[in-house]
Structure 1
Amino acid sequence: MTTVQVIFPVLKGSRRFIIERGRRWSVIEHLLLDAVSRGAASAADLAKQSSLPRRVVVEAFIRLMRAGWVEITATSRGPLFQITAAGASLVHYEQLPSATVREPRWRGFAIEQLSGSVYRGRELDLYHKNQIDSHVGENPVVYLSASDAHDLEDMGEVFTTIEGEDEIIIGVDRGSEKLAERYAVVTVKDGEIDGLPGRAPEKLRNAILKAASEISARLAENGKTSAPATAIMEPVEETPAATPSAYDPTDLIIDGEDHWRSLDRIISGASERVIIHSTFISDERAAAVLPLLLRAAERGVTIDVLWGQDDLGSSTRSSQVAAAKMQAEIDTAGRTGSVRVHPFSTNSHAKIVFADSQKGWNVLVGSCNWLASDYKSFETSFRLREPILVGQLMKRLAGLSQGRPGVWNNFAIDLAVLGRRIMDMPSPKGRKVPMRLLYGAEHARLVLKARDEATRRIFALSHRIGITAESLTLLPSLAAVKENGVEASFFYGRTTGPLSGEAGADLVRTFARSGLKVKPIQRPRIHAKVLGWDDDHLAISSLNWLSADPSEGKPYKEIGILVNAPKIADNFMGHFAHVMPP
């Protein structure tokens, strides 16, 4: 194979990170300390009870003894480990206190813009665009283009990459410098990539190998051995794996009144933090929610309010005006530092509420504009309680909050650090079902998944119907109707954009003749955004399945969750049928 040099864009930067250094106690060490708090025991007994190797048990107790929390006592049974008074005072803590130190350190990093993977400062050969020609030889050169989906860096991934052993990044000194645009150069020969770290993701490796293979084949056809060329990476569709997650049927929140009660409960139950992201803010609804927020602030809860009304979507930017008025009322109430209504738009249509509680973190994800809804429409949201997914979602919100690439404001840094901490929390006990978060264009791919998997029915609820309904949802579902004989039903509240009421009626009649039921519903007012199939698959989202066109370039403009649980879709449709007019 011809030797090919592949060039791809990278963002290079450095920051002064606040690093907490020192080994932290593991769950195993905490459990062993708890075991000897119930009575002295030998290493052999504890190894047998825990199914751990005896060596692991002994090494754990060596550390616990160095900390002064365990001691060895001689008994007729031989030497036994027993807890000390100092250990007994700490064993019931949620996490054992670590002997760590904090120190600032400058660290460099690089973020490639094809798959978004992060590297330490010296792991890639990086060049300014004006230096590339002097660093490539006579071999063919392939340029890969950046993906719009990775326009904003994931600060959490940056932290993970540059942390050393026994280090955790807990903060970043805010810097105003932009990330520098650079280019990485790697060499491909005989199907091997030189210059790329072994931990690089398959998505990036496959793109590099594909580009090199294509240009080599093209040169072979033309009888050449050397020529410059340009290739553009094609998007690689990846379906994230589902995560077994805590689930209870009451986690599904349906109808307006239930949403108001859920908002009241999640804010009232918070002990430290509440974060609300509502696409819109209205004066009337902000006034209704504000007393809940002020009462929480009186208990010491810190509250952040974000909004996502598109800067380009409204000449009045009503949410920005309402946000400023809401903050003024908070200032008048004397809660300026406790309740912050951020003045910038995230440009996201997501509707999310985060809050901690005595049992862990909860997130409400779905269709409800928490600071604009009158709570009288038919809404649907989901209460997410699984820490790893809650933390991932918090990190995505950090990305929405950071602004331009490379501009890490204090609030975004705070959310990124918090998201990583939540991901490390223990999972709640109880029933688990597969769940995965949905972002942007993954919604469109989910429709195709429903088309391919449905054996009995497909359905969707959407606040609006527009001209994109055919290509996004209706045509794929029509294929399932024709090929598998499934029942397909779609419900919407109103037409939008260039699709007039009359055109909407024509669309309904056209698809009805093909076996699809597309039905407008005036009462109850539909604001829910739900896609489901068969009995056990339900996606709850901010996306209008019959009007929005989810973009690869704005991956977090729409956010939802797919839940695969026994009868969840069937129960939802039963509830909807109960409130829907005949």
Structure 2
Amino acid sequence: MSKIYIPAWHYRAPGLVQRVWGWSPIEEMSLLTLDTTPGTIDDLASALQIPRQVAASTVARLMQFGLIEVRMSPRPMLSTNTVGREFIRAGRALPERSADREIGISVVYEKVGESVFRNRDVDTIAVTKLPTSGKVVNFPVGEPSETDYSMMQRVTEFMSGMLRPGEWLRGIQANSSYLERKFLVIDLNDMKDGATPPGASEKLIEALKLTIKTGILPVTVPPAVDEPPTIATDIHTDQIVVGASQQLERFEQIVKAAKSHVFILSTFVASQNDDRCKENRDRMWQALDDACRRGVKCHLFFGTSIDVPKHAAAMHELSERLSSIRRTRGYVLAHRDSVDSHAKFLVADDGQGGAIVSMGSCNWLSSPFSAVEVSVELKEANAAGAAMDVLHSIIAKISSAGQSIEALQFIAAELRRNRSRLSASTTPQGAVRTAMRILHASDHNRLLRIAAHDAKTRFICCTNRVGANMVPALFDPAEVAGQRLGEVSIYYSRRGGPVKRGHVTDHRKRLDGVVGIFGVPEPQLHAKFLAWDDDHIVVSSLNWGSQSAALDNPMDEIGLYLQGAGLATILLKKFDGENTRAAKDA
């Protein structure tokens, strides 16, 4: 046995690398000097005791970035301008200088030791050209194929140690990518002589040594079981948004602040002639109109798998409306294929070098903004970046999303790169230090049962609907909690499937004194959340009382589990306030 063939993926794509230059002490001292003592280049050179040539080139760079200006009265002199003075007085970092260059990326990822190689360093062979002789390790049966998204993550990690000082990989241009199954060719005779492919993992080397010793072919590694990582972040009270009009107001504010990109994933899309709560919808459309006029790129998606042609037609109407405002291609990317997810996202840059992600229950492109919704806004770099990664993986399902994927990837990368410079080491005043986990579909039911057993003071759940699985999915866990806690409540507004009013009434009577089951017809509770004790909340797209998580589609439902001092108290206070206000209005 001389050669063996190991399953692998060949990935090729153009990457964008950015080189960033910071500011030298001379440049910073020059800016400070000209702010306090305006003068000429000679004055600056004398004050800092530096050569005149250095002073002149420093002034040229500061002028290039619009930080200093020439005053003509009472005599010509250099001084900081309004922008330069603002940077100094606000304690802000000076604007970085950067330049981009495109590189070609061509790598091979093998499935035994999970090594990533440069394509030029290894031998590969096409699946259709395998020789009749030789030992072949087959691709694992039933395992999902690699995707642009999964390969991007591996390439980013692989490239991190290969770039020049001061450079970082901004992202990969997915529109021009190439991904193909191949086999990595390994000559075991070379391995016996100690020659291994550059970059081979220890796992691959050990597996090949064992094959040489025993003659038994190596096996591919099973896919990793991804446990949602915990992310430390900060949550302000106003980042938990509860209500109907509150969601619309935040939509307007977020879209109005954006300068480059807005991404929206809504389960449904309303037709332009839908008259339900027309005034509210007009405000939403107007916010998007204004964004297009400013040159903001709008990336629009819908997720339902029900009546797809209807929502695709509505998305086309919206695209025609927005495209007519700014007749330049590429500013409106309204996708008419469903991403097959019930998750709801609003993502935008904040116009100040950061980004904001809103996740929760609100169907932005179809909501009449009359139902009670709950959403959480993520602003800190790690939290927002993780949420963008989830949206990235959801929209990657459709072939038309290449430009949107690329833009989202670049924003997330920029956000993370700036994290150390933009974020404080301590929790900002008024914020709650929070442990955050992003929940996929199947994570929800498991966490609800854990909460029902672990809660010590209260257990509250709000679901838009109760349906056929309401008893095992929600009522039974709530009963477990209610047998030892004094406050266990379930709120809902609609019934689904075969469930009639009498069915819910029977369970309400059965659980009387153990679990409070409250039907709230108006205003409709479209919110989906779970809260227990004082510190734990889950804000989600999942209807806890009517839907079962789809194991084959982990991105079908997305939730945020947040644990921080008083977060449940904050959420429930806002929720109770909305219910009280609605009762008074009625």
Please report the TM-score for the alignment, with normalisation by the length of structure 2.
Answer: 0.71
CA contact (8 A) 2:242 2:374 kept: yes
CA 1:520 to 1:402, structure 2 compared with 1: closer, same or farther past 3 Å?
A: same
C-alpha distance in structure 2 between counterparts of 1:550 and 1:461, whole Å: 17
C-alpha distance in structure 2 between counterparts of 1:114 and 1:468, whole Å: 42
Q: How does 1:495-574 map to 2 (within 5 A)?
A: 495-510=495-510, 512=511, 515-574=514-573
Q: How does 1:19-30 map to 2 (within 5 A)?
A: 19-20=17-18, 22=19, 24-25=20-21
State the secondary structure of the residue aligned to 2:463.
strand
C-alpha distance in structure 2 between counterparts of 1:472 and 1:232, whole Å: 34
CA contact (8 A) 2:175 2:403 kept: no
C-alpha distance in structure 1 between counterparts of 2:456 and 2:146, whole Å: 36
In the TM superposition, what is the alpha-carbon distance from 1:465 to its structure 2 partner? 1.9
User: In the alignment, which residue of structure 1 is the partner of 2:317?
Assistant: 325
In the TM superposition, what is the alpha-carbon distance from 1:408 to its structure 2 partner? 7.1
User: In the alignment, which residue of structure 2 is the partner of 1:393?
Assistant: 387
Q: Which amino acid aligns with 1:323?
A: M
User: In the alignment, which residue of structure 2 is the partner of 1:420?
Assistant: 413
C-alpha distance in structure 2 between counterparts of 1:494 and 1:123, whole Å: 60
C-alpha distance in structure 1 between counterparts of 2:441 and 2:502, whole Å: 30
CA contact (8 A) 2:5 2:134 kept: no
User: In the alignment, which residue of structure 2 is the partner of 1:269?
Assistant: 257
Unaligned runs of 5+ in 2: 35-43, 68-86, 189-195, 208-213
Q: Which amino acid aligns with 1:249?
A: T
Deviates more, 1:368-377 or 1:31-40: 31-40
In the TM superposition, what is the alpha-carbon distance from 1:385 to its structure 2 partner? 0.9
Q: Deviations over 1:123-151 (max 9, x none)?
A: 999776785996559xxx89855655976
C-alpha distance in structure 2 between counterparts of 1:475 and 1:147, whole Å: 35
Q: How does 1:24-423 map to 2 (within 5 A)?
A: 24-25=20-21, 34=28, 37-38=31-32, 84-86=58-60, 88-89=62-63, 92=87, 96-98=95-97, 100=99, 102-103=101-102, 105-110=103-108, 121=119, 136=135, 153-154=149-150, 156-163=152-159, 164-166=162-164, 167-170=167-170, 172=172, 179-182=179-182, 233=222, 236=225, 238-245=227-234, 247-283=235-271, 284=274, 287-310=282-305, 313-314=306-307, 317-335=309-327, 337=329, 338-359=331-352, 360-403=354-397, 409-423=402-416
User: In the alignment, which residue of structure 1 is the partner of 2:84?
Assistant: none
CA 1:419 to 1:173, structure 2 compared with 1: closer, same or farther past 3 Å?
A: closer
In the TM superposition, what is the alpha-carbon distance from 1:564 to its structure 2 partner? 2.5
User: In the alignment, which residue of structure 1 is the partner of 2:75?
Assistant: none
C-alpha distance in structure 2 between counterparts of 1:149 and 1:464, whole Å: 35
C-alpha distance in structure 2 between counterparts of 1:365 and 1:475, whole Å: 28
Q: Which amino acid aligns with 2:493?
A: G
CA contact (8 A) 1:458 1:487 kept: yes
Residues 1:463 and 2:455 aligned together: no
In the TM superposition, what is the alpha-carbon distance from 1:545 to its structure 2 partner? 1.9
CA 1:355 to 1:498, structure 2 compared with 1: closer, same or farther past 3 Å?
A: same
CA contact (8 A) 2:231 2:382 kept: no
Deviates more, 1:484-493 or 1:144-153: 144-153
Q: Deviations over 1:89-136 (max 9, x none)?
A: 558485644464523x33223567899997655899977678599655
C-alpha distance in structure 2 between counterparts of 1:547 and 1:529, whole Å: 11
Q: Which amino acid aligns with 1:264?
A: E
CA 1:425 to 1:18, structure 2 compared with 1: closer, same or farther past 3 Å?
A: closer
In the TM superposition, what is the alpha-carbon distance from 1:496 to its structure 2 partner? 2.1
How many percent of aligned residue pairs carry the same amino acid? 22
State the secondary structure of the residue aligned to 2:571.
helix
State the secondary structure of the residue aligned to 1:548.
coil
In the TM superposition, what is the alpha-carbon distance from 1:383 to its structure 2 partner? 1.8
C-alpha distance in structure 1 between counterparts of 2:121 and 2:485, whole Å: 54
User: In the alignment, which residue of structure 2 is the partner of 1:57?
Assistant: none
C-alpha distance in structure 2 between counterparts of 1:379 and 1:198, whole Å: 51
C-alpha distance in structure 2 between counterparts of 1:393 and 1:71, whole Å: 52
User: In the alignment, which residue of structure 1 is the partner of 2:192?
Assistant: none
C-alpha distance in structure 1 between counterparts of 2:101 and 2:322, whole Å: 35
CA contact (8 A) 2:12 2:106 kept: yes
Aligned Cα RMSD in Å?
A: 4.7
C-alpha distance in structure 2 between counterparts of 1:296 and 1:515, whole Å: 50
In the TM superposition, what is the alpha-carbon distance from 1:335 to its structure 2 partner? 4.5
CA 1:579 to 1:439, structure 2 compared with 1: closer, same or farther past 3 Å?
A: same
Q: Deviations over 1:219-262 (max 9, x none)?
A: xxxxxx999999995873624122223x2211111110111111
In the TM superposition, what is the alpha-carbon distance from 1:380 to its structure 2 partner? 0.6
CA 1:244 to 1:335, structure 2 compared with 1: closer, same or farther past 3 Å?
A: same
CA 1:253 to 1:99, structure 2 compared with 1: closer, same or farther past 3 Å?
A: closer
In the TM superposition, what is the alpha-carbon distance from 1:520 to its structure 2 partner? 2.4
C-alpha distance in structure 2 between counterparts of 1:227 and 1:18, whole Å: 42
Q: Which amino acid aligns with 1:321?
A: A
State the secondary structure of the residue aligned to 2:456.
coil
State the secondary structure of the residue aligned to 2:460.
strand
In the TM superposition, what is the alpha-carbon distance from 1:84 to its structure 2 partner? 4.0
C-alpha distance in structure 2 between counterparts of 1:86 and 1:502, whole Å: 79
C-alpha distance in structure 2 between counterparts of 1:232 and 1:501, whole Å: 51
C-alpha distance in structure 2 between counterparts of 1:469 and 1:365, whole Å: 24
User: In the alignment, which residue of structure 2 is the partner of 1:216?
Assistant: none
In the TM superposition, what is the alpha-carbon distance from 1:323 to its structure 2 partner? 0.8
CA 1:33 to 1:84, structure 2 compared with 1: closer, same or farther past 3 Å?
A: closer
State the secondary structure of the residue aligned to 1:289.
helix
CA contact (8 A) 1:297 1:335 kept: no
In the TM superposition, what is the alpha-carbon distance from 1:355 to its structure 2 partner? 2.1
C-alpha distance in structure 1 between counterparts of 2:46 and 2:451, whole Å: 59
Deviates more, 1:281-290 or 1:501-510: 501-510
C-alpha distance in structure 1 between counterparts of 2:336 and 2:284, whole Å: 18
Size of the alignment, in residue pairs? 509
In the TM superposition, what is the alpha-carbon distance from 1:537 to its structure 2 partner? 1.4
Q: Deviations over 1:471-507 (max 9, x none)?
A: 444444444445x546432212222234444444445
CA 1:443 to 1:576, structure 2 compared with 1: closer, same or farther past 3 Å?
A: same
C-alpha distance in structure 1 between counterparts of 2:433 and 2:142, whole Å: 36
CA contact (8 A) 1:363 1:384 kept: yes
CA contact (8 A) 1:273 1:302 kept: yes
State the secondary structure of the residue aligned to 1:179.
strand
Q: Which amino acid aligns with 2:379?
A: R
CA 1:402 to 1:115, structure 2 compared with 1: closer, same or farther past 3 Å?
A: farther
User: In the alignment, which residue of structure 2 is the partner of 1:61?
Assistant: none
CA 1:527 to 1:389, structure 2 compared with 1: closer, same or farther past 3 Å?
A: same
C-alpha distance in structure 1 between counterparts of 2:181 and 2:550, whole Å: 24
Residues 1:494 and 2:468 aligned together: no
CA contact (8 A) 1:8 1:146 kept: no
Q: Which amino acid aligns with 2:311?
A: S
In the TM superposition, what is the alpha-carbon distance from 1:452 to its structure 2 partner? 4.9
